[in-house]
Structure 1
Amino acid sequence: MAVPGPDPESEPESVFPRELGLFADSYQERSRFCFCGHALSITQNFGSSLGVAARVWDAALSLCNYFEKQNVDFRGKKVIELGAGTGLVGILAALQGGDVTITDLPLALEQIQGNVQANVLPGVRAQVRALSWGVDQHVFPGDYDLVLGADIVYLEPTFPLLLGTLQHLCGPQGTIYLAAKMRQEHGTENFFQHLLPQYFHLELAQRDENANVNIYRARHRKPKSV
């Protein structure tokens, strides 16, 4: 589950009350987005046990914008989204022709499934499954063409679990796209500058100064020739 921490300058304080964002009163909010010619209706269920997984974050919007501007080709690609929250990124990938698996912890699956049903027509390949990093990634295949994540680099104790999951899921010729709000207090910069490059060739694909969001593209390092 993508659970980014508070950034009081750009994110409402009410999103981050005690207990990871649990509200006394529950409510739904439906937001509309348009990417790649697709009009998307995304429901966010605030105040439930979802906590901050309920919300569409800036990093998800930046990643969708990037896919649109760069005309990233999902057609016929095997795609998985990690820590999907609302499922926005994975839904867009499916509508763009990908064979997409959208994942998060079990508590977020009902929200994701509702958004998939609201936006994905029959025949579009989008399935929703639970995935806990470092625990059950091996029940998933290790040959995804594209691995996607938006605001999933948030807690330093999970970094080794995420790294192992990325290593397993990304196929030999696969590509990882990770969008992240660069929160210093959460070790995000350390993850991308020092940890991820140990296992993947990493490029900064886009920097959004206004949103403080970086989009990184990663591929497996080629083995050194003997």
Structure 2
Amino acid sequence: METELDIEEESDDAVLGSYEEPVRLVDDAAAEILILWATNQPVVWKQNFFVRQTSLSFSLDACGQIFTIIQSPSAMVKPGVTGAVLWDSGVVLAKFLEHAVDTKRLHLLGKKVVELGSGCGLVGCVAALLGASVILTDLPDRLKLLKKNVDANVGIPVTTRGYVKVLELTWGDELDPHFINPFPDFVVGSDVIYSEDAVVDLLQTLSQLSGSHTTIFLAGELRNEAVLEFFLEAALEEFQIGCIDQKRWHPEYRSCRVALFVLVKKSLSCM
């Protein structure tokens, strides 16, 4: 039977899931943290290089149109609220998806995508304009801003094959059938690895969402070594993980403060 994991035997790189480009395999969480911080040196690079979190809106050219994303900087004063503004990792992931589709490394047309922690909705909106059927998700109190941005930048329907939905999702909860019937082809998320408590629930949801053909893309800011190491160590118990080199990102949207990972369930390699 054809496998979802195609490992190159003479290399430390592998092709994971539906991303048609070799990535550097992650097999040790602590070693990966050393590599990322030694190679990228994130603390010496400017934070929020692409975004302006004090602005009420953010514009980005993608998929042949100008996206205008509404932000709510005032909401950032509330503890735990980060999705009211954009972060560089979201911009990097959105433009990575566009570039990967343009270069034929990724095929989103007609595919089902679930975005976790959608926040302002940029990544999900870009995926929709690339032809995917997208479910954007967040906590109940974040949905109003998310729906505004989806309506303003995407509209419904997106294509004759796809659709856009905004649904409530709390990580760790039992999933509604909309999410897993059928299972998504892709799960995406940006800046979703931010605390050890959240990691446990995030991984439970990632596991529930992962079917036999599900590929996960996660982009995150390199700001807390301990939290990222905790995530990688826990995720490696169930997932095969690869780190995507910046050479594969959009050439104009690269940041040494951001890491981009691709994940598939380990069980897929044995099918």
Global fold match (TM > 0.5): yes
User: Which residue identity is paired with 2:112?
Assistant: K
**1:92 equivalent in alignment to 2:126:** yes
Partner SS for 1:163? helix
Question: Which residue number corresponds to residue 65 of structure 1?
Answer: 95
**1:212 equivalent in alignment to 2:257:** yes
- Sequence identity of aligned pairs in percent? 31
Instruction: Report the CA distance shift for 1:34/1:159 in structure 2 as closer, same or farther (over 3 A).
Output: same
Question: Which residue number corresponds to residue 43 of structure 1?
Answer: 70
- Aligned residues between the structures: 206
Partner SS for 2:56? strand
Shift of 1:225: 5.9
Instruction: Report the CA distance shift for 1:225/1:102 in structure 2 as closer, same or farther (over 3 A).
Output: closer
Instruction: Report the CA distance shift for 1:216/1:185 in structure 2 as closer, same or farther (over 3 A).
Output: closer
Instruction: Report the CA distance shift for 1:205/1:223 in structure 2 as closer, same or farther (over 3 A).
Output: closer
Q: Select the residue among 227, 236, 256 that pairs with 1:197.
A: 236
Name the CA distance, whole Å, in 2 between partners of 1:204 and 1:225.
21
Q: Which has the higher contact order (CA 8 A, sep 6+)?
A: 2
Partner SS for 1:219? strand
Name the CA distance, whole Å, in 1 between partners of 2:176 and 2:199.
17
Partner SS for 1:56? coil
Aligned-pair RMSD on alpha carbons? Answer: 2.6
**1:126 equivalent in alignment to 2:164:** yes
Shift of 1:223: 5.9
Shift of 1:210: 3.6
Question: Which residue number corresponds to residue 209 of structure 2?
Answer: 169
Instruction: Report the CA distance shift for 1:87/1:61 in structure 2 as closer, same or farther (over 3 A).
Output: same
TM-score, length of structure 1 as denominator length: 0.82
**1:30 equivalent in alignment to 2:57:** yes
Identify unmatched segments of 5+ residues in structure 1. Answer: 1-6, 13-26
Name the CA distance, whole Å, in 2 between partners of 1:38 and 1:206.
27
Instruction: Write out per-residue CA displacement over residues 183-222 of structure 1, whole angstroms, 9 at most, x where no aligned residue.
Output: 2255113312x11121111111134874411111111113
More displaced 10-residue stretch of structure 1: 83-92 or 33-42: 33-42
Higher percent of residues as strand: 1
Partner SS for 2:145? helix
Instruction: Write out per-residue CA displacement over residues 20-61 of structure 1, whole angstroms, 9 at most, x where no aligned residue.
Output: xxxxxxx86111101232321100012135832111101101
More displaced 10-residue stretch of structure 1: 74-83 or 114-123: 114-123
Instruction: Report the CA distance shift for 1:200/1:120 in structure 2 as closer, same or farther (over 3 A).
Output: same
Name the CA distance, whole Å, in 2 between partners of 1:225 and 1:65.
32
**1:180 equivalent in alignment to 2:220:** yes
Are 1:30 and 1:41, in contact at CA under 8 Å, matched by a contact in 2?
yes
Query: Which has more radius of gyration?
Result: 2
User: Which residue identity is paired with 2:65?
Assistant: H
Partner SS for 1:122? coil
Instruction: Write out per-residue CA displacement over residues 145-199 of structure 1, whole angstroms, 9 at most, x where no aligned residue.
Output: 100000000010111111110011122111000001122255113312x111211
Identify unmatched segments of 5+ residues in structure 2. Answer: 1-42, 49-53
User: Which residue identity is paired with 1:181?
Assistant: E
Are 2:196 and 2:230, in contact at CA under 8 Å, matched by a contact in 1?
no
Question: Which residue number corresponds to residue 189 of structure 2?
Answer: 149
Instruction: Report the CA distance shift for 1:184/1:167 in structure 2 as closer, same or farther (over 3 A).
Output: same
Are 1:181 and 1:211, in contact at CA under 8 Å, matched by a contact in 2?
no
Name the CA distance, whole Å, in 2 between partners of 1:79 and 1:138.
15
